[in-house]
Structure 1
């Protein structure tokens, strides 16, 4: 992990949020992962199974391509008119939800629009990351973002606003595969430069409506052992 960033977030089919840990601390029933780092120390990871996977599904059933889904979400204010989306199409892990949990749109009414459904789905991905951050512990003042799920400006702004930290996206294709190659090279005694460029950082904004939507989403979450 780059020492300049307090945490690393990869948004793809799933989501993985990682931060440095000085020393391992045994936990009887852990809800996050802990690994030894390749250089020194340790890193903790909170993993979400349903991130881009759930958004792809939502776009499919709403008849929207990815650009159209994002455009529709921008038409709805934060909070999606009171609608919450539970993205657990394949169950979940850890303290976020249980393996038997499933997806749903909740809070529907006769006036609910497709834009609000799209907005709720997009917000749910961000909310799942925030809940993971709360399970993981302090992530510091910034998050370095990779993965196709973070290409859109709206997603980066929602992440910054919801996490309350600056978001710095590194433009790199197949970040996980690239990272594996860099680690393999390091194991062979070769140092590879990290490719890619960094997009302008996105600063967090105070958004009471988004905060209320997150509180409502948490209240609607299924039990983690469900």
Structure 2
């Protein structure tokens, strides 16, 4: 049987890690690689704030090649569209016809991704779509997925939760109305271990800073 080759959008966080795990459960699918957009000026994953060096190590730990797409800062819609169009054309040229995303329930985000791929020959897959995030968060934890908060919105969460483990204590500390998986942008994570990892990513927690209205906790390679 010829497997369906899939390229996975990789944020470095728990949801994309769990999407990888789910895709790998399907014998008809082969995840052939990851892709991530980076803020070129800071060499960090957009929104998650994860260092490029850590991102590359993380990809090695899950056993997949990763393509880092550098975006200028600031990045206009025109620049973003041009850069992503070129990237998608290259993916199609390699014979890949599917891209997967770890989105859970935001209809506007899904519609945007589908519009972006319309007419390109690429079909979007959403392996986690429609999940009950209360159940999903605990399913991830029970399966051994480990992650730490790298970014949070201080209007929705206490700053002290920066760098916190994605665990039961975190869920208990979340205010009412905050999604357990942070799907509304309340927080973002760096995944460092779990069933999708061949070996754990060794990390330590650095300083926490406030920038552009968000709280960023610098996660670092353990041996730095």
User: What TM-score, normalized by structure 1, do the two folds share?
Assistant: 0.30
Larger radius of gyration: 1
User: What TM-score, normalized by structure 2, do the two folds share?
Assistant: 0.30
The structure richer in helix per residue is 1
The structure richer in strand per residue is 2
